[in-house]
Chains A and B, each alone.
Chain A
Amino acid sequence: MDWTAFRLSLELATWTTLILLPLGVLAGRWLAHHRFRGRGFVEAAVALPLVLPPTVLGYYLLVSFSPDMPLGGLWFSLTGQGLNFSFPGIVLASIIFNLPFAIQPVQRAFETVPLHLREAAWCSGLSGWRTFVRVELPLVWPGVISAFVLTFVHTIGEFGVVLMVGGAIEGETKTVAIAIYDRVQAFDDEAAGAMSLLLLLASFVAIGLVYGLAGKGRSVGVR
C-alpha cells in the first residue's frame, strides 16, 4: 500500500475541489440564467473533457504548460517554476478536466429555480447576495453536493491526464491511480488489489451519497 500516493491524491482532490467549486457555482449559475450567442459553444467546451481521450487533453495541457507557451510562461514568471511534472501543474490539469463535473450539476440545479423566486426575493427586500445565500443556494444545494463529490472522486481516480502532465514523480505527481498501475507493472498484485479495493469502496460511497441527496432534492419539490 502506497500511503504517500494516497496522501498526494487526497491533497490533489482537496485543492482541485476548493478552487473549482466556487468557480463551478458561479459558472453554472451564469450558464443557467443567461441566454447569449455562443452559449452552445461554451457549453460544448465545458463538456469536452467528458468525451476527449485523457491522453489528448493531457497532450494539449503538456504543450501549453511549457514555459515557451503563454500559460506556462506566465506561471514561470510568477513562480520561477515550470508547470509540467509539478504538483501545481496536476492541480491545474485537474481543474480543467473536472470542469463538466463541477459545472453541469450546478447548472442543472440553477435551471430548476424559477426567475419568479428570485424576483419575489428582491421584492421582499433581499439584496442580490442575500437572495443567493438564503433562496438560491438552499435550493441548488443537492447540485452543489453532487458537483463536490463528483469532482473529488473523479480527481482521485484520474489517470491519463495526470500521467501525461505530471509523469509519476514520487511524492510530487504520483497519485494513487498511477501507483496502482505502477504496482501492476511490478507484479505486486497484493498492493494493487488493496489500493483498488479502497478506491472502489470510496467511489461507491461517494456516488451513493450523490444519488441519495439528489433523491432528497426531488422530494422537496422545487416549484
Chain B
Amino acid sequence: MSGDGLSVALHSRRGIVLEAEFAVAPGELLALVGPSGSGKTTVLRTIAGLHRPQIGLIRCNGEAWLDTAGGLYLPPQKRRVGMVFQDYALFPHLTALDNLILAMDGGDRAQRIRRARQLLNLVRLEGLEQRLPSALSGGQQQRVAVARALARDPRALLLDEPFSAVDMMTRERLQRELALLRQGIDIPVLLVTHDLQEATALADRICVLHDGKSLQTGTPEALFRRPESPRVARLLGRQNVFSGVVTRAHGGECLQWGGLTLELAQASGLPDGARVNWYIPDSDIVLHRRGRPSRGERENPVRGTVDECVVMGAQTSVVLRCHHTGDALRLSVSTHAARRNGLTPGVDATVSLLGKGLHVMAPREHARDPVAKGGFS
C-alpha cells in the first residue's frame, strides 16, 4: 500500500457487505458512484470511522486508521478527516463562525477566529459569519459545511452527496466552486454521488460501486469508453453491450457478431473462439448519410431498421434493429441530421461501428493483458 494519500481495502462479508479497494492520491478527487444502496455512503462512513467493517485496512499518508488484522481501529476524532454530510449536519445553535471554531483544535482563540474567517472568505461567506444555520440558504449552509470540514486541517476530505439538497442552479454554482477550491488543497478528496454527470465533471477518477463491491476504477474517459463488464456499462447508463466471438480473419483479430465480422482497431489478445461481451460508445457509431459517402463509411457497416426515434432537444435518440443479428443498437444523432436523413420508425439506415470504439470485455476467467498485442486487422 502506498504511504502517500489514502488507500482503502475493505472485505466485509458479514453485516454490511463491502468489497471495495481503491486509492486516492493527494490532490486527487475520486468519485464513488453507484445506485442508491450500493454502499457508497457506507464506504465513506467507514473511512471516517463512523462504521466499523468486519475486515478492512485503511491507511492515510502512511498512518493506519483501520487495520482489522492488527486489531487497530482509530475513532473518528483521531483520523483527521473533513466530512461534509448530505444534510450538512451544521450545529444549529452555533453561528457559521462558531461552527468552524468548534471544529478546530490547537491555537488560541484569536488565531482560531482568524483562521475561521479565512476559511469562510474562501467559500465566499464573508459578512455572514454571525448567522445561525437556519438563517442561511441551502447553498450557504453547504459552504459552511465545506469550510467546517476544512477547519480541522484534515488529511482527507470526504463529501457525501454534497450537492443533492440544493436546486439545480445552486448545484452548478457549488460544483464550480468545489472545482476551484480543489486547486488550493493537496489532500485526497472523495466524493460520493449517484449523479454521473457530476462525477464526470468533477472527478479525476471514478470508482463504480455496486452491492458494496468496487467494480472498476478509472478516469471518466476510460470508464465510458472501456467498461470492464456489462454490469459496469449498465451502471454507467451505457446500453450498447452485445455478445460475440473472437476470431482471426485477414491476418488480424476480429469480432464475430451474429452474421457480421467486425474489425477491431485494437486486439484484445484473447484466444480464438473466446465468447465475449463487447461494447461500443454511441459516439463511435456513425450514421451514413443518404446518397453521400460519409466519414468511416467502409468501417464495419451495419444495416438495420429504425425501431424508435425520439427527439430530445438538439439530439435525437435512435434505436436501430440490426438486420444481421436482431440486436438493438442505440445511438444519438443531432436532430438536424436525423431530419435530413429522414430517420423515422420503419425506415432502413446504415451505420458504421468505428473500430477504435469497439471494446471487447475480457471474460472473467481471462485476465486481460494490460499491453495490447497484435496489429491492426
Contacts and interface: CB of A to CB of B under 8 A. Distances in A.
B357 interface: no
Interface size class of B (residues with CB under 8 A): 20 to 34
B85 interface: yes
Nearest to B105: A125
A80 interface: no
Contacts of A139: 92-93
Contact of B85 (A116, A134, A221): A116
A127 B102 CA distance: 12
B148 A124 contact: yes
Chain A CB count within 10 A is highest, among B102, B105, B152, for B102
B25 to A, nearest CB: 22
A126 B83 CA distance: 13
Given A125-B77, A125-B105, A116 B89 contact: yes
A135 B91 CA distance: 7
Contacts of A123: 48-50, 76, 81-83, 149
Given A127-B77, A223-B133, A120 B93 contact: no
Contacts of A222: 92
A134 B94 CA distance: 10
Contacts of A117: 89, 91-92
Chain A at the B interface: SS class: helix
A121 interface: yes
Contacts of B87: 114, 116, 223
A122 interface: yes
Contacts of A114: 87, 89
Nearest to A138: B93
B294 interface: no
B90 interface: yes
Interface of B: 48-50, 75-77, 80-83, 85, 87, 89-93, 102-103, 105, 132-134, 148-149, 151-152
Given A116-B87, A117-B91, A123-B82, 9 more contacts: A117-B89, A122-B49, A122-B76, A123-B48, A124-B103, A124-B148, A125-B103, A134-B102, A223-B133
Interface of A: 114, 116-117, 119-127, 134-135, 138-139, 220-223
